Structure 1
Amino acid sequence: MFTTHSFSDFDSAAQAALTYLHQRMGLSLWMITRTELDDWIVLQAEDHGYGVQKGDVFHWPDSFCSRMVRGEGPHIAPQSDLVEVYRNAPIAQQVPIGAYVGVPITYGNGALFGTLCAIDPQPQPDNLADELPLVELIAKLLSTILDFFLKAEMASRREEQQQFLTERDEVTGFYSHLGWEKLLASEEARCQKFGFPVSVIIVDLEEGQRPPAEVDRLMGQAAKIIRTICRQEDLCARIGARQFAILCIECHISQADFIRERLALGFQQGNITVDLGIAERSPQQGLHAAVDMAKSAAHEQGRFRTKVKV
């Protein structure tokens, strides 16, 4: 049963719910998931046989849950192979599924966040369907808890950003490298909790022999372009003598690529030579890996180069 203590975060509430549901209803795998475009991200898992763990990512269109959300299949299917839409779903060909449970988890405005779901390799008794009111109640409670903690995280993010501004680069006014590292750590923790999409853009200014004062002037000009083009929620830092990093919060790679294209045009119009690299965080590898990939992309591509006027 649920314990009487309060939950310190969404993770602990979600895990308590999964543990309770497994104890009450059985089924080998219970999950709390988030949907992001075609990604189906596992935020919490109570697994007893499938080998699924937190951070795993599956293909949302392949899932039973995608069909359940569209109203094409029931919330509970004690014998899922008797439901045509589930029997024909790609995931049914990838893993053994004899029974299925699934209900939506939503944001405060009712939009889909993800699902509370379960599967088992063996068919279950028909009376499994009688548990639907309980599963729906728990999903609604989790949706309410989710909304509370999402709002709390947004407030915490704003406070951290102000705090980390003490680590400021004097020339550009952006976060310093130390501030950037603190931001990465905080956002990685949020991504692990809630599955936020985050992208990284790296801006490398041209190499060349210039006096330090000239480099600073050039970096100041580049910072003005970045500040003008990036969204209010994007976090910008100077992480090297000639290098900027931009953390695009709750931003898929397609959205970040639009920002990159605008940056490329802005630098071209400003006659500043840059290399731009872009990458999106993957739940398996995290934000630091995305930063490394964006740096590599900037180094390898070098496709936004225009002559600098000195």
Structure 2
Amino acid sequence: MIDEPISPRDTDRDVRALRDIPRIAAILDEVCRITRMGFAAVARVTDERWVACQVADRIEFGLQPGDELVLKTTICNDIRASGKAVIIDHVGDEPNWRTHPIPMLYGFESYASFPITLEDGQFFGTLCAIDPEPRSLRSPELVSILERFAREIAGIVVVSRAGVLSA
């Protein structure tokens, strides 16, 4: 599916709609618990913006809902382009990542990010997590759980948009 341009107003609406949903907060807490990572977020990712919708921050990464990162400084931009998850257990052990500028910029050693794709095939954003310490993230069970959480969040987005549009 070809993504249509997304207006900043639509992105801001999505962020406002998702920032206080308790189930998303519970998912992010569970992501931190099961991965042992200190930061997890749902991000709205467009061809121009990366905006945090909701975060669980146990490592003082410093992002709050509504905060933005420069899109080109995120791996989520690559996930938007490919539609595939990126999992890094230990940046220092992986030749493709150990000298990559993004882990160096944000100071993480482990990273997991899964695309949030809506039922119509539209890419919404990512469920992502980072930590300054290496973590084991590639087990099939853990990957399956994180994929399921990303699908659940996609469903929440659809329901949320229906509520926002009818309001």
Instruction: Name the TM-score, length of structure 1 as normaliser.
Output: 0.43
| Cα distance change on mapping 1:96 and 1:113 into 2, 3 Å | same
**More displaced, 84-93 or 16-25?**
84-93
Which deviations, in whole Å up to 9, do the C-alpha atoms of 1:27-66 show, x marking residues without a partner? 0110000013332101111001212221210012221222
Distance 2:38 2:93 in 1: 19
Matching residue of 2:107 = 96
Aligned residue for 1:41, secondary structure, equals strand
Distance 1:51 1:153 in 2: 28
Matching residue of 2:3 = none
Are the equivalent residues in 1 in contact too, given 2:45–2:77 (CA < 8 A)?
Answer: no
| Cα distance change on mapping 1:84 and 1:65 into 2, 3 Å | farther
Matches within 5 A, 1:41-60: 41-49=51-59, 50-60=61-71
Distance 1:36 1:67 in 2: 11
Distance 2:46 2:80 in 1: 14
Matching residue of 1:138 = 149
Q: Which runs of 5+ in 1 are unaligned?
A: 1-8, 157-310
Distance 1:36 1:72 in 2: 13
Match of 1:30 among 33, 37, 40: 40
Matching residue of 1:105 = 116
Aligned residue for 2:78, secondary structure, equals helix
Match of 1:39 among 49, 55, 65: 49
Amino acid at match of 1:78: D
Aligned residue for 1:129, secondary structure, equals coil
Distance 1:72 1:141 in 2: 17
RMSD: 2.2
Q: How far 1:20 moved relative to its partner?
A: 1.4
Amino acid at match of 2:103: A
Amino acid at match of 1:75: V
Q: Which has the larger radius of gyration?
A: 1
Which fold has the larger relative contact order, with Cα–Cα distance below 8 Å and residues 6 or more apart in sequence?
Answer: 2
Are the equivalent residues in 1 in contact too, given 2:91–2:97 (CA < 8 A)?
Answer: yes
Distance 1:124 1:106 in 2: 25
Match of 2:73 among 62, 76, 79: 62
Q: How far 1:87 moved relative to its partner?
A: 4.0
Aligned residue for 2:65, secondary structure, equals coil
- Aligned length in residues: 146
